[in-house]
Structure 1
Amino acid sequence: MRIIISPAKKMREDTDSLAWRDLPAFLPQTEVLLSTLRALSDAELAALWKCSESLAVLNAERVRTMDLRARLTPAILAYEGIQYQYMSPGVFTDREFDYVQEHLRILSGFYGLLRPFDGVTPYRLEMQAKLHVGESKDLYAYWGERLAAALCAQSDCLINLASKEYSVCVSRYLPPSVRMITCVFGEEKNGKIVERATMCKMARGEMVRFLAEHQVTEPEQMKEFDRLAHRFDPVRSDDSTYVFVRPGKGVHT
């Protein structure tokens, strides 16, 4: 079983808390991306990132000075988004770190596929970014089937906790022999399930923590997840989609 999650835009450098163990598996491809970014002007980078001027200045400086092999941070500690805040890897036990190192994989527009203890440096490059790389029109084309192939070589069951922006670069290449279970976290409203972006990120982080704490190795065990008031809904779920529902506002259980 392998669990896939999205990265986060906000990143930090932490070279003190834990040591990184390995360089990312797709580092040669990352080096090509870095060279492509360095060939762009600051204005072109800002247009690519679609961010504030201050963030554009910060990340342009990162691109110019980036070292992919020095002052690295374990990927699990490098990302600071809501999902990672609720995952709370900073308080993982050794046993939980061992679990995520084996089972968790982070999808990345820049690094491709990361294990939690792969060493990374702060960057900004979303998978949806319209970056032309050689003959590839964008990052989806650049990464192609490589990420899916790497995951399929490790397991025949994938737990999808990633956003569609990232999961699609895996799902579109999966063979029938590999099962992907997408987790949906939502609220019931007028008989329908409504997904709220922030709550989804929170729940995905909590799910990773739940899986690590309980050392889950079979999908069936995930159905016990009950955090942030979510409960597994067997009626709305099937073999490829696990739906977890929490009461909507004004609904009492």
Structure 2
Amino acid sequence: MRIIISPAKKMNVDTDSLPQQGLPVFLSKTKILLQELQNKDLPELKKLWKCSDKLAQTSFEQLWKIKLEGVLTPAILAYDGIQYQHMAPAVFNDQELLYIQNHLRILSGFYGVVRPMDGVSPYRLEMQAKLAVQESRDLYDFWGDSIANELFSQTDTIINLASQEYSRCVSRYLKEGIRMITCTFGEEIDEKVIEKGTLCKMARGEMVRFMAENQIEQPEKLREFSRIGYCFSEKYSDSTNYVFLKVK
């Protein structure tokens, strides 16, 4: 079983709290992306990143400081979005850290797929960015089925806690014998399940923590999740979509 999650835009540098264990598997492809980004000027990158002048300048300077090898921040500490704050990896015990290293995978537009303890550097590159690389028209084309095949070589069961922007790198390449279960966190409004961005991110982080704390190995055990007001809904769930509703 592999759990997939999205990265976060905000990133930290922390080379002291946890030991780095290896590097991302697709580092050779990351080097190609880095070179492509470094060949662009600030206005081009600002358009690509779709961000403010201040963020573009900071990210541009960061681009020339990136180290892809050496002493780096373990990915699970590098990303600092809402999902990661609710996962709270800094307070995992050794058993929980081992669990996420074995089961959790972070999808990335820059690195492809990352294990929690892989060393990474701060970067800015979302998967949906319109970056043409070599013969590829965008990052989805550039990564192709490589991310999915890397995951499928490790397991036949994917627990999807990633946003659609990232999960499509896997879902579009599903093949016979591979099961992908998407976890949906929402509210029931007029007989429909409505998701709210911030709450979804919080719940995804809480789900990873729940799985690590309970050493979950069977997907069906996810139905026992009951945190920050969410509970499993038999009504809206099926074999490929586990729906958790906010209790009013």
Place the TM-score, normalised by the shorter chain, in its bin.
Answer: over 0.9
- What secondary structure is seen at the aligned counterpart in 2 of 1:242? strand
1:50 maps to what in 2? 50
How far apart, CA to CA, are the structure 2 residues paired with 1:204 and 1:91?
A: 17
Amino acid corresponding to residue 156 of structure 1 in structure 2: D
How far apart, CA to CA, are the structure 1 residues paired with 2:46 and 2:152?
A: 35
1:14 maps to what in 2? 14
Structure 2 counterparts to residues 60-71 of structure 1, below 5 A: 60-71=60-71
Structure 1: 5+ residue runs without aligned partners?
none
Structure 2 counterparts to residues 101-112 of structure 1, below 5 A: 101-112=101-112
Q: TM-score, normalised by structure 1?
A: 0.97
Q: CA RMSD in A?
A: 0.7
Shift of 1:115: 0.3
Structure 2: 5+ residue runs without aligned partners?
none
Amino acid corresponding to residue 213 of structure 2 in structure 1: E
2:34 maps to what in 1? 34
Amino acid corresponding to residue 214 of structure 1 in structure 2: N
> Are the counterparts in 1 of residues 20 and 71 from structure 2 also a CA contact under 8 Å?
no
2:233 maps to what in 1? 233
How high is the sequence identity, in percent, across the aligned residues?
Answer: 58
How far apart, CA to CA, are the structure 1 residues paired with 2:15 and 2:172?
A: 36
Shift of 1:110: 0.1
Structure 2 counterparts to residues 242-253 of structure 1, below 5 A: 242-247=242-247, 251=248
How far apart, CA to CA, are the structure 1 residues paired with 2:48 and 2:171?
A: 25
Count of aligned residue pairs for this structure pair: 248
Moved over 3 A (4+): none
Indicate how the Cα distance of structure 1 residues 71 and 58 shifts in structure 2: closer, same or farther if over 3 A, else same: farther
> Are the counterparts in 2 of residues 148 and 169 from structure 1 also a CA contact under 8 Å?
yes
1:79 maps to what in 2? 79
> Are the counterparts in 2 of residues 75 and 116 from structure 1 also a CA contact under 8 Å?
yes
- What secondary structure is seen at the aligned counterpart in 1 of 2:132? coil
1:135 to 2:141 alignment: no
How far apart, CA to CA, are the structure 2 residues paired with 1:46 and 1:191?
A: 42
> Are the counterparts in 2 of residues 71 and 121 from structure 1 also a CA contact under 8 Å?
no
Deviations 1:121-158 (A, max 9, x none): 00000000000100000000000000000000000000
> Are the counterparts in 2 of residues 2 and 157 from structure 1 also a CA contact under 8 Å?
yes
Shift of 1:63: 1.1
